[in-house]
A and B are shown apart, each in its own frame.
Chain A
């Protein structure tokens, strides 16, 4: 007991209670697997990529310092596919993200209605998310095959019956249709975001709707003036995560095109080019530089969105 008292006195002298010390140590110990993972699998690769982005490095032999060469090599368009891949990625982000938000939100609103069998519908719309990307891509390729795929068979069926045969779009085989086809595929995968919206919708207080109803607001006014403002934090969250996800878009286009981005680089996304630089051309330095450029781009875009968020994201309790 005397021991304990002296410990307490000493701790008090430093104004940290022994409980706090023990709790901190225990907390750190409990968190240590996560901390170790973070340092090993995130902090170290990020730092290593930063280091190698200034070096000529093939992954095995000693790295040779080359200054900013890897950055200028890409940015100056010495690999012309670089800007193509930037364009493809931005095109995809600009088209797929807003469409995805509207689509997922619409679905969530429908699935928030109080109708019979709602749990079944919710499950059905979430199911595609559970299919692994690789399997999904392979099914997609079959369905959208311009020659024998299900989609074109359906499109061509009626005109053929009427004696005016048409050819359906080339979908993934066409340089015009390839990216829109991917946008479609993205909509099919909206389940994840939909689920988050659904959770958000259920948090909108009923008394707001009641008040709006008393004031004579119709469904559109209730949606536009009550629902949407109340779930802007959720939209904001989904916007940021979708943005980061689309900038790193890799698995689906890689599997769809065997890593080639065909046709005519229409599906060559930024991460695929990064991967090609590293594993096909053995330019890990260039790939690291690309990774950092992407990181900076994602950072800048995120900061911009955060800045504008004050104007449209409503956290409740504020007066506008």
Chain B
């Protein structure tokens, strides 16, 4: 008996020892994980003396993509050079279907272990800020004279919620119609006369479409492909998604209903099952495919609504003569709509809630929106939001087709700056998908979207 008792106590003792050792180990690991610099007391890096701070940076950029390459080879080294004492450790974090945000970030914020800075789709900054997921950086901006007047107004607005700043704006991007001149010639159309009205677009699309038995081997145009979101067409028809005076979402604006009805007409005219089968060649689970899989690169679509960023990508993936055989044109005029329209998106840097090195993170966010944006815009030919970069000379040597995008600067629209912007985006995408598949009429579906999103929006009005 006593023996057993002794054995048990010996076991207990051993466990105790193991416990102590592992506690000690855990302590040292935790200490190693803790920020090296005294985050919080420093005004700016460089003033903190010899203490070094490593910032955690999350971005969806793949390390081998052009932006990921620029990040590693230029952006981060330049930042570290300009800010002695600051190091940046970057992690690629994938965004999820249709939200452009990451559940990983949301989970990390909830767990109190977010990265210091996160590359973030700008139109959902308001949605996340309104939920309390982001850090208010207004005081830093004020202190450092980082003001709205430096930026494209709408881009700045997207970075705010209730008069406070939650993000520093990075670049933006505009949308136009790409068309393949070789296809035009082949179909007997004048390659120098792209469609100027929606009726012309529909007609040309039919002429450009080629069938192979029961399938399509090429389609002239698919309204919902690539950047053919309901935002693209709704605004083109002259619709408004949001009424700022009434603070109401108006997704069922008759003009947006007309735009969606037009999208559905393609599904009916060409047969949605056949079109779905056809687009499956360049559509993956996460959306329409880019780079060498892009339908415009492969000649599967003759016309496509897409963004300015594709020019640089097409240059990489098209043969030189093919690269010369396309042009871009303003989106054609819709019945009763403005002569054209376009919209802009873009990204930003946010400090998640509960960020450890707040002061240093701000230094990064500010640098990224100013110096970083300058490097990025010049290297990858992208549309800036920093007004000082809209210098004609700077873009003189760029592709003239890309400069057509830049000329849209004064008419371009931005998505409503509301705390339910992310929900509205998802709802609109779902309604579009339902409509083209005949799951309800455009009016019914958009009435539903309007009602649901407004119900959520009402929760934020004081």
Contacts and interface: CB of A to CB of B under 8 A. Distances in A.
Contacts of B434: 264-265
B277 A173 contact: yes
A258 B437 CA distance: 18
Contacts of B286: 258
A79 B452 CA distance: 8
Given A61-B132, A280-B426, A141 B285 contact: yes
B99 A280 contact: yes
Nearest to A177: B273
Contact of A258 (B4, B96, B423): B96
B277 to A, nearest CB: 4
Contact of B433 (A58, A78, A265): A265
A276 B422 CA distance: 12
B106 interface: yes
A125 to B, nearest CB: 27
Contact of B280 (A26, A58, A145, A260): A145
B98 A147 contact: no
Contacts, number: 111
Interface string A134-151: 000100010001111000
- Secondary structure type dominating chain A contacts: loop
Nearest to A266: B437
B214 to A, nearest CB: 4
Q: How large is the interface on B (under 10, 10 to 19, 20 to 34, 35 or more residues)?
A: 35 or more
A148 B281 contact: yes
B153 interface: no
A256 interface: yes
A65 interface: no
B1 interface: yes
A80 interface: yes
A242 interface: no
A44 to B, nearest CB: 15
A136 to B, nearest CB: 13
A282 B128 CA distance: 9
Contacts of B356: none
5 contacts: A79-B452, A165-B213, A259-B97, A260-B98, A281-B423
Given A147-B277, A165-B214, 5 more contacts: A79-B452, A167-B215, A258-B284, A264-B437, A279-B96
Interface of B: 1-2, 4, 8, 96-99, 103, 106, 109-110, 131-133, 212-215, 273-274, 276-281, 283-287, 353, 422-423, 426, 429-430, 433-434, 436-439, 448, 452, 455-456
